[in-house]
Amino acid sequence: MIILGLDPSLSCTGWGVIATQGARISHVANGEVKTDPKALMPARLDHLYAAIAAVIGQYAPDRAACEEVFLNTNPQSTLKLAQARGVVLAACGRHNLAVNEHAARLVKKAVVGTGRAEKPQVASMVKVLLPGIQIAGADAADALAVAIADAHLGPRG
């Protein structure tokens, strides 16, 4: 099974693709989609949609997994995150890709062992679980963690 993990954000959306065979997981690919903060919102969202749709087209995942949205103290930040997340989910929907949603704490607990893990701890554990990989950045590491957690928590399809 091929699983696409997604860590949506308007500024930098991380994505990671893993393959599972029974309890074994292996790395397929990972990356980040960055948008131009000076561009208008519709252009940023269109760029994000096109990039995630291209990833789905290239790797043909069997399902996707995405972090659930969390509330920031800044309502504008929450709104931008929700818009980016909506575009990512729309790209999955366009490709008839089922998406499992997981809380960030649950992802961290499944991958690191504690729901309060920091980004560096998540990235380190992803490198342990997927030895020898080059991670595109912190958001890609988080996306791979979402995919890994989904392999353990999500429904078998």
Q: pLDDT tier at 130 (50, 70, 90 boundaries)?
A: very high
- The 10s digit of each residue's pLDDT in 79-94 is 899 999 999 999 999 9
Domain assignments of the chain as residue spans, ordered by start: 2-153
- The 10s digit of each residue's pLDDT in 93-109 is 999 999 999 999 999 99
Q: Look at residue 157 and tell me whether its pLDDT is greater than 60.
A: no
Catalytic residue among 32, 67, 142, 150: 67
2-153 falls under which CATH superfamily?
Answer: Ribonuclease H-like superfamily/Ribonuclease H (3.30.420.10)
pLDDT at 2: 98
User: Which two tokens mark 112?
Assistant: 């690191």
pLDDT at 93: 97
How far apart, in whole angstroms, are the C-alpha atoms of residue 31 and residue 69? 20
Q: How far is CA 92 from CA 1, 4, 11, 25, 49, in A?
A: 16, 10, 19, 22, 9
Q: pTM for this structure? A: 0.94
Higher-confidence position of 142 and 155: 142
Higher-confidence position of 136 and 153: 136
| 96 neighbors 35 (Cβ within 8 angstroms) | no
Q: What is the mean pLDDT of the segment spanning 119-146?
A: 96
Catalytic residue among 32, 139, 142, 150: 139
Least confident of 2-6, 91-95, 142-146, 151-155: 151-155
pLDDT at 76: 87
Catalytic residue among 7, 32, 142, 150: 7
E-state strands within the chain: 2-7, 12-21, 24-34, 63-67, 99-102
How far apart, in whole angstroms, are the C-alpha atoms of residue 144 and residue 31? 10
- The 10s digit of each residue's pLDDT in 20-79 is 998 899 999 999 999 999 999 999 999 999 999 999 999 999 999 998 876 677 888 888
Q: What one-letter code names the amino acid at 87?
A: V
Active site residue 139: yes
